[in-house]
Amino acid sequence: MSGDVTPPPTENWTGPAPVTGAVPVTVPDGARPVDGFIPPLEAWQQEPNLRWSMQHMADFLPVHEISSRGRTLPLPSVPADLGHIDVPHPWEPRSAPFEDVMASTYTDGWIVARDGAVMGEQYVGTMSPGVLHLLMSVSKSLTTAVAGTLVGAGELDPGAQVTAYVPALAGSGYDGARVRDLLDMRTGVRFSEAYLDENAEVRLLEEAIGWAPRRHPDTPHTLRDFLATLGADGPHGGRFDYKSCETDALAFVLEGATGVNAADLMSERLWSPMGAEFGANVGVDAVGAGMFDGGVSASLRDLLRFGTLFLRDGAAMDGRQVLPSAWIAETVAGAPDSRAAFANAAEPTLMPGGMYRNGLWFPYPGSDVFLALGIHGQMVYVNRAANVVAAKLSSWPTPQDGERLLWTIRAFDAVARTIG
């Protein structure tokens, strides 16, 4: 169910860094800034604005609603005392209670369920069950799940060329890439996630969608046009190379396959069928294209509903099939070379023996435990052996933190061992 984790080389683990030069504003935990102040674009992703921003994306940036129509599936409750469960540190010879791990990792809210019944749930500050919290790259896992519904319906071919669905990307680095390469982060597209580099493509992407001030006049003003500027620096289908642009390209593939806006598609194929309690939303660019690599905001409870699909072979809690069972099976199995590609990753993964498949992280050599992950501490945890699903929404002051990540995984591992 779990495996050994060695101390991570966090100094080599690249990820988004706070933008420099912003004017700090004192904001109480999760509270709206005083006198209606909205953080400027250069400051919303850094302290002390981050916690407020993560819970109020629709208040200061354009979004497209992801609606929940029809039935809401209730979450039964079987409360248990989880707070005192002992959690070993990932590499130091010490441990801490579960409640202390949650408190020390900038948690905005967490929830744990076994067999679909909630055993523990907590919110911090102004976070509450109905608050839509930015998911960052957990958005990727939602988007790949939508792709899975299309594959199951015969509307999307994972082996097809990306440009067959998105002709606008012909002549770019996506020439020759398959949809499968997007799903598994294995294209040879040139894209740097080095957020400390103002000229890295990931920073230019933020400018293109309007999430950051425009520092590069030549950056396109739409997401699709930006993707079309990307070149290639390696073969497609090779090693695992985590690049946010892949999921944005995938969203355009979904639209090309169906003729339906990707946000509406997520509502129709995932959010409503799984019985979501609340709507969601996704940040959009100047022409309404969704930023599906990290722009979805949703509630904690609905993340739990999403994770529970993977315990039930794709079925919602009332038995309605949402994700194809074959999609779940091939996700968990991985491709014959998934783990080798992951081991040869372009950057450290902190997950020896693991893999990345269909937008999900498998942190151990086995496939019982897998994750949806986003920077600043967003997580959906699925443990199929223990029939446990957990979710955590956070506001880490730094985008990446190896210790906080691995200790959170260990915390949910410990809970799963205890209640599973």
Give strand ranges (E) for 244-307: 280-283, 296-298
Active-site residue (options: 2, 53, 137, 267) = 137
Q: How far apart, in whole angstroms, are the C-alpha atoms of residue 9 and residue 403?
A: 10
Amino acid at 409: I
Tokens describing residue 394 = 């956070």
DSSP 8-state symbol, 156: -
Q: How far is C-alpha 365 from the chain's CA centre?
A: 21
**CB-CB contact of 204 with 226 (8 Å):** yes
What gap in Å lies between CA 144 and CA 262, rounded to an integer?
A: 11
Task: Concatenate the DSSP letters of all residues of 181-240 into one string.
Answer: HHHTT---B-----TT-TTSHHHHHHHHHTSS----TTS-SSHHHHHTT--B-S-TTSS-
Helix, strand, coil shares, percent, the chain, to 5:
30, 15, 55
Query: What is residue 160's three-state secondary structure?
Result: coil
Residues 6+ apart with CB under 8 A from 387: 114, 115, 311, 420
Identify the three-state secondary structure at position 168.
helix
291: left (phi over 0), alpha (psi -120 to 50) or beta: beta
Distances (CA, A) of 27 to 35, 38, 44, 176, 213: 11, 11, 12, 48, 22
Active site residue 137: yes
The CA angle 144-146-149, to the nearest 5 degrees, is: 115
Q: Which residues of 194-211 are buried (b: 16+ CB within 10 A; e: fewer)?
A: bbeeeebbbbbbbbbbbb
Active site residues: 137
